[in-house]
Copies of this chain bind each other. A is one copy, B any other.
Amino acid sequence: MKETWALGVDLGGTKLEVAGIGEDGTIRDSMRLPTNVKGGPAVIERDIADMAGVLRERAGIPPVGIGVGIPGQIDGDTGVVLFCPNLGWHEVPLLADLRHLLDMPVAVTNDVRAITWGEWVHGAGRGLDDIVCLYVGTGIGGGVVSAGRLLSGCTNTAGELGHITVDMKGPPCTCGNVGCLESLAGGWAIARQAREMIGEDGEAGKMLLAFANGSIEAITAETVAAAASAGDRLSLALLEKVCRALVAGCASLVNAFNPCRLILGGGVIDGVPELIDKVRAGVRRFALPAATSGLEVLPGMLGIDAGVVGAASLAMRTFGKEGR
């Protein structure tokens, strides 16, 4: 009996992973490389094609297709990556290029939308018609399943949940707006606020600075999480602020979408897992009672594999005979 499987690609700013995924969502085989951002689209596409070729050969039978998740905005009709800040890409015809390089059906999608699909089909949102996924990494992305459909919107950008405003008098965001959820709770914004707080009070910032080996420029959200775990008061105060922004944003999402599950993931959540309990309590307190009566707030179940599992599952659904 031949097994149905698909290839999933997680194309991030630091690593490029390609995996073979079975119909049940499990990883059968995988490869990864550092993302050659400097090499540009052609080199990265070649890397994807090479790894896909190896995995296909090892499997013995061809996959039903390949799904690629990328942290950017994709034209839904053409598969052109309109903008991907992490890779510095503008208007890259990723779908067309990969179709040229690969002898199999190709689908390209936003990375968090792929993750949402994975969590919906194989993870924390399984069996439900209404879920919201919020991924809090360096940036913040999202995906929404409502009335049993993964929302794509008018121009394929539905679910840009990091760019809902939570503080209209807040700090500038990279998107050109101010006070976006991402500008207060995304990894880059946590690092920015940590540097500002140290600048304002060097004495209070000593411990955090020591965690970054004395270099204020080296501070990241991970540094803040590590210092907070060790009891650093400045880092704990900053995470409290981040938590308030997340609660405000999540309450908005719950009121707007009324999901059965709000699924939280990404590096910041993984680094500070107590955020999940705090967001759960905050949403229950601040969102409308009627909107939370059926709600569960949960961590993603697919962990670091979510990207490849989701992208492959989406390809399976799009190109395979089977699927949801």
Instruction: Report whether A161 and B256 are in contact in the complex, using a CB–CB cutoff of 8 Å.
Output: yes
Q: Please, how many residues of chain A have a CB less than 8 angstroms from a CB on the other chain?
A: 55
Residues of A within 8 A of B (CB): 73, 82-83, 128-130, 142, 144, 146-147, 149, 151-161, 163-169, 175-177, 179, 244-245, 248-249, 251-253, 255-260, 285-288, 290-291, 293-295
Q: Point out the residues of chain B lying under 8 angstroms from A176, CB to CB.
A: 285-286
Q: Point out the residues of chain B lying under 8 angstroms from A166, CB to CB.
A: 165-166, 168
Q: Point out the residues of chain B lying under 8 angstroms from A144, CB to CB.
A: 256
Number of copies: 2
- Indicate whether A248 sits within 8 Å of B155 (C-beta atoms), given known contacts A146-B146, A163-B288: no
Partner of A154, one of B163, B167, B259, B286: B259
Instruction: Report whether A177 and B287 are in contact in the complex, using a CB–CB cutoff of 8 Å.
Output: yes
Instruction: Report whether B288 and A257 are in contact in the complex, using a CB–CB cutoff of 8 Å.
Output: no
Task: Compute how far the CA of A287 lies from the CA of B157 in the bound complex, rounded to whole angstroms.
Answer: 11
Instruction: Report whether A158 and B257 are in contact in the complex, using a CB–CB cutoff of 8 Å.
Output: yes
- Indicate whether A153 sits within 8 Å of B258 (C-beta atoms), given known contacts A165-B166, A288-B160: yes
A157-B291, A163-B251 given; 16 more Cβ-contact pairs under 8 Å: A83-B290, A130-B158, A142-B256, A146-B153, A147-B152, A152-B258, A153-B259, A154-B260, A155-B258, A157-B258, A159-B256, A161-B255, A164-B255, A164-B256, A165-B252, A179-B248
